[in-house]
Amino acid sequence: MSLPRAIEAVALATTASIAELPPRKHVLDLDDFTPSEIWALLESSRGMEEVLHRDIKKVPALRGRVVVTLFYEASTRTRVSFEQAGKVLSADVINVSTSGSSVEKGESLLNTGLTLQAMGADAIVIRHPHSGAPNLLARHLDRVGVINAGDGMHAHPTQALLDLYTIWKKLGRLEGLKVLIVGDVLHSRVARSNLWGFTRMGARMVICGPPTLLPLELLRSNEEAGGPPSLPSVEVDTDLDRAIQDADVVMALRLQAERQQSGFLPSLREYVRRWQVTPERLDRAKPGALLMHPGPMNEGIEISSSVAHGGNSVIEEQVANGVAVRMAVLYQLAAGRK
Ligand code: CP
């Protein structure tokens, strides 16, 4: 047996029941994932989670592979969980942030990517304030897998995958669930990727918030304009007390103060009064409904502290599941690379 095959065999033997993953070059959003590919990643994440529960959380699945995290924006959950995921799989993980790198001297994103590729990176995990930055790298780098860790208001596919995984683990299914996303949907890349992911998996999606913070253009058909396929039907409701009724899942989103322009909100007090997820509102959802938030939270604004830390909350489980899901994504992209 050749050395790479032997390594792979050991890796598979030591990572519990990793599902057969179809080959994939990049993870830029969930719009090009089929339901069966999402299922394969969720199954694979379950195998990865088993590794995380061992005494020694280390398998050689990505030994000899190089994963670079390239973050042009702040992050705690995504950056740390990708780093942990890579290390558990024995990849060499190199963290690059704009501060202290040649980006400070004006190096372009593309030249930064080409530099990392020349150094032998197998995967680049990128977060960037501009929508489309990961797609640009993916178009120009031929030897590196690109993973979008959040770009502008566009997409955050691994967050959506960990949200799907968390719900599937807790409720045992995705199809037919009523999933409510409430808050600043307009600025939320998490919501956009989740809309793709949940509708692909057959969930019923409802978005709710002030009309000025809902991306109504996303919900219109693009067909007349000859554009890309629009999202499958998503219900829109600006009345949270009504929208939350019988929800299986309630996902509150952060009010993104850094992306607000004047005029989006009448006042913060009005926003809290009408769209904060409170215990009284959560009582209208299905008994045992899951309360989610991608983080970071503004407690007391989009979500009350008692709800955020209450019995329905799976927010910490979302964070924990992020490691297993990102292990599965890294494995899918980097394991088969030559
Ligand atoms: N949910 C999320 O992307 O969190 P971070 O900004 O901390 O990575």
Distance 25 CA to ligand 1 centre (A): 23
Quick one: 194 and 251 in the same domain?
A: yes
Q: Are residues 143 and 178 in the same domain?
A: no
Take atom 3 of ligand 1 and give the residue whose Cα is closest: 78
Residues 70 and 206 both lie in one domain: no
- For every one of its 338 residues, what pLDDT tens digit does the chain have, with 9 covering 90 and above? 444 444 454 454 554 456 578 889 999 999 999 999 999 999 999 999 999 999 999 999 999 999 999 999 999 999 999 999 999 999 999 999 888 888 888 899 999 999 999 999 999 999 999 999 999 999 999 999 999 999 999 999 999 999 999 999 999 999 999 999 999 999 999 999 999 999 999 999 999 999 889 987 665 544 444 544 556 578 999 999 999 999 999 999 999 876 666 667 778 899 999 999 999 999 999 999 999 999 999 999 999 999 999 999 999 999 999 999 999 999 999 887 65
Q: Which residue range forms the structural domain that includes residue 84?
A: 3-156+320-336
DSSP state of 257: G
Best residue among 73, 95, 153, 159 to mutate for probing ligand 1's pocket (most ligand atoms within 8 Å of CB) is 159
**313 shares its domain with 330:** no
Both 95 and 60 in one domain: the answer is yes
Report the pLDDT value the prediction gives residue 193, as an integer from 0 to 100.
96
Q: 7 and 63 in contact (C-beta within 8 Å)?
A: yes
Residue 148, ligand 1, Cβ within 6 A: no
Q: Do 71 and 151 fall within a single domain? A: yes
Q: How many domains does the chain have?
A: 2
Are 329 and 309 part of one and the same domain? no
295 lines ligand 1 (CB under 6 A): yes
Q: What is the pLDDT of residue 23?
A: 86
pLDDT at position 16 is 46
In a shared domain, residues 145 and 269: no
CATH number for position 186 = 3.40.50.1370
Dist. CA 139 → ligand 1 center (Å): 25
| 3 state SS of 277 | strand
Give pLDDT, residue 97. Answer: 87
DSSP 72-111: SS--SHHHHHHHHHHHHTT-EEEEEESTTSGGGGT--HHH
What is the rounded distance in angstroms from the CA atom of residue 292 to the CA atom of residue 307? 10
Burial class for 264, CB neighbours closer than 10 Å (0-12, 13-18, 19+): middle
pTM: 0.92
In a shared domain, residues 86 and 183? no
Contact 238, 214 (CB under 8 A): yes
Q: What is the pLDDT of residue 18?
A: 60
Report the residue among 71, 73, 76 best suited for mutation to probe ligand 1: largest number of ligand atoms under 8 A from its CB.
Answer: 76
For ligand 1, pick from 70, 75, 80 the residue to mutate: most ligand atoms within 8 Å of CB. Answer: 75
User: What gap in Å lies between CA 193 and CA 244, rounded to an integer?
Assistant: 21
